[in-house]
Amino acid sequence: MNSISMNSTATRTSALSGGHDGAPMTPEQLEAELRAIGASRYHILHPFHKLLHSGRLNRCQVQAWALNRFYYQAMIPIKDASILARMEDPELRRIWRQRIVDHDGENAGDGGIERWLMLTDGLGFRRDYVTSLQGLLPATRFAVDAYVHFVREKPMLEAIASSLTEMFSPAIISERVSGMLKNYDFISEKTLAYFGKRLTQAPRDADFALAYVKENARTPAEQAAVCDALRFKCNVLWAQLDALNHAYVEEGQIPPGAWQPGEAVAAVAA
Amino acid sequence: MNSISMNSTATRTSALSGGHDGAPMTPEQLEAELRAIGASRYHILHPFHKLLHSGRLNRCQVQAWALNRFYYQAMIPIKDASILARMEDPELRRIWRQRIVDHDGENAGDGGIERWLMLTDGLGFRRDYVTSLQGLLPATRFAVDAYVHFVREKPMLEAIASSLTEMFSPAIISERVSGMLKNYDFISEKTLAYFGKRLTQAPRDADFALAYVKENARTPAEQAAVCDALRFKCNVLWAQLDALNHAYVEEGQIPPGAWQPGEAVAAVAA
């Protein structure tokens, strides 16, 4: 049973694109491998994303997405603080702490979490309901918490590598914003303010993390672990959309205790 | 944001059946409340369970269930050892350690995990594939790992209370065993040996945990936490069946990297 390890992504052996005979990949080959993982596993490929940006979800389904995704947003600074708490180099910490500032803001009423709440506001939710987390799908909580535990328990290299989904976020954000503005009359530029900021923040963060990983993942084992960390993180994002799809789109099988359409909305917003 | 806490079950305030005006429930009222939670949230109510025991799944779907549930089985002794490691009372530890013996066996080839592998054997899987965890649904891993983290991080009372789903397991086991034997020609009494043992082990364990909780949850806050722990555990079980349903039954939306029907089977078993 030694093959059983918590949080192990335990993926099938990847056909790594470089380094046959156990030789390490070059940094460029590693980057190409990471991009190939994104091209086959990033949640831009998920059916729920396609429904979301193409206007084929109803307002309740968009609400369910925003409500559940709030938990992911809210835990990002906790995830990043968990990484920060394990970094021994002040130079690294000075760079990484900016992520926490971005999400928590310089002051109350600022930052990424606050901008996400502008989206849930715009969708008619009571703020106290959203932040209470009462209506979350359990699968959302399990996936997001798995991410936080991953960065606390894995080597620093893998913790940093798990953030590399940001390499692919500009593409999904631009699809999401343009598609949602065009297709939903209950969505405005103001309610999507979160994504505007991320278009500059995410590439800056991804550039740093990618350079770090390319410099520090030297052995085949380290390079495989980095690739597994990115696969793990793709799974975290994918599982969240799977759960939304099952509960609110295809099945209508809402788990006991999760948000019911119509619940906890402040008013019938336009 | 102080309302956001990892692993908090954050459920809506339960309409506790006793103790109005903030008075604690009696132990009997607490037991009744726990039984009411099981009656509304235990996975015996899940559509996938109903499909499983009534013979409406095909062999691949039963395989997917057994493969994924293996991870839950395999992590149970790690969950119980995590609780054991936090118990300060030798008397408690002597009782609790039996759970680990039950799952790991007195010797190699014995115990609950081994009996679960007899089921996956009977369904045609290669053992090395099952124990490699390669084909797991990410949502299975996230839910099971959430259970292990819960018992490591929560107070002992809640860790013990989270095992109380065993109060309800004789009913689901008897439905499962009789239904599966009757409805699937690829299932035999031998392959279901796991469940036979659990019919005596689970009630013994549940009796102890229930008595412990009734004796030690005295304040309204402790009683509410115990009820939330049971809700959390019901969510862990429910989310596993949701993921199977989404991937292998209704949707056919298998996440990237998860087991594909036909993969890793040793032979076309009868």
Handedness of CA A5, A8, A12, A13 (dihedral sign): negative
CATH number at residue B84: 1.20.910.10
The predicted structure's pLDDT at residue A252 = 73
Does residue B177 lie in a domain region? Answer: yes
- Domain total for chain B? 1
**Residues in chain A within 8 Å Cβ distance of B149:** 145, 149
The predicted structure's pLDDT at residue B6 = 41
Residue A2 scores a pLDDT above 80: no
Residue B237 scores a pLDDT above 60: yes
Does residue A1 lie in a domain region? Answer: no
Please indicate whether, in this complex, the C-beta atoms of A139 and B142 are within 8 angstroms of each other.
yes
Please indicate whether, in this complex, the C-beta atoms of B255 and A243 are within 8 angstroms of each other.
no
Does residue A40 lie in a domain region? Answer: yes
Which of A3, A133, A149 lies closest to B8 in CB terms?
A: A133
Please indicate whether, in this complex, the C-beta atoms of A145 and B141 are within 8 angstroms of each other.
no
The predicted structure's pLDDT at residue B111 = 94
The predicted structure's pLDDT at residue A162 = 98
Residue A157 scores a pLDDT above 50: yes
Does residue B197 lie in a domain region? Answer: yes
Choose among A138, A145, A161: nearest CA to A6: A145
Residue in B with minimal Cα distance to A239: B139
Residue B264 scores a pLDDT above 90: no
Q: What percent of chain A has pLDDT over 70?
A: 90
Does residue A8 lie in a domain region? Answer: no
Q: What is the mean pLDDT of chain A?
A: 91
Q: What is the pLDDT of residues B11-54, one digit of tens each?
A: 434 444 444 568 999 999 999 999 999 999 999 999 999 999 99
Residue in B with minimal Cα distance to A79: B6
Please indicate whether, in this complex, the C-beta atoms of A138 and B236 are within 8 angstroms of each other.
yes
Confidence of residue B238 (pLDDT cuts 50, 70, 90): very high
The predicted structure's pLDDT at residue B235 = 98
Residue in A with minimal Cα distance to B247: A242
CA distance B127 to chain A (A): 11
Mean pLDDT of A34-46: 97
Q: Which domain holds residue A203?
A: 25-249
Cβ distance A7 to A153 under 8 Å? yes
Phi-psi domain of B214 (left: phi exceeds 0; alpha: psi -120 through 50; beta: other):
alpha
Say how far apart CA A10 and CA A138 lie, in whole Å.
23
AA letter at B77:
P
The predicted structure's pLDDT at residue A265 = 84
Residue A4 scores a pLDDT above 60: no
Contacts of B221 (CB under 8 A, 6+ apart): none
The predicted structure's pLDDT at residue B25 = 97
Does residue A168 lie in a domain region? Answer: yes
Does residue A19 lie in a domain region? Answer: no
Mean pLDDT of B215-238: 98
What are the structure tokens assigned to B191, written together? 């392959």
Mean pLDDT of A101-123: 95
Q: What is the pLDDT of residues A79-102, one digit of tens each?
A: 999 999 999 999 999 999 999 999
Q: What is the pLDDT of residues A198-246, one digit of tens each?
A: 999 999 999 999 999 999 999 999 999 999 999 999 999 999 999 999 9
The predicted structure's pLDDT at residue B21 = 61
Look up the ipTM and state it: 0.85
Q: DSSP H helical segments within chain A, as ranges?
A: 27-41, 47-53, 59-84, 90-104, 112-122, 127-132, 138-153, 156-161, 169-183, 193-216, 220-244
Chain A interface mutation, best of B116, B242, B263, highest count of A Cβ atoms under 10 Å: B242
Q: What is the mean pLDDT of chain B?
A: 91
Q: What percent of chain B has pLDDT over 90?
A: 85
Confidence of residue A267 (pLDDT cuts 50, 70, 90): low
The predicted structure's pLDDT at residue A21 = 61
Residue B2 scores a pLDDT above 60: no
Does residue A18 lie in a domain region? Answer: no
Q: What is the pLDDT of residues B102-133, one digit of tens each?
A: 999 999 999 999 999 999 999 999 999 999 99
Helix axes B193-216, B90-104, angle to 10 degrees: 160
The predicted structure's pLDDT at residue A159 = 98
**Residues in chain A within 8 Å Cβ distance of B6:** 75, 78, 145, 148
**Most confident stretch, A18-22, A156-160, A171-175:** A156-160
Please indicate whether, in this complex, the C-beta atoms of B253 and A242 are within 8 angstroms of each other.
yes
The predicted structure's pLDDT at residue B14 = 44
Number of residues that this document lists for chain B: 270
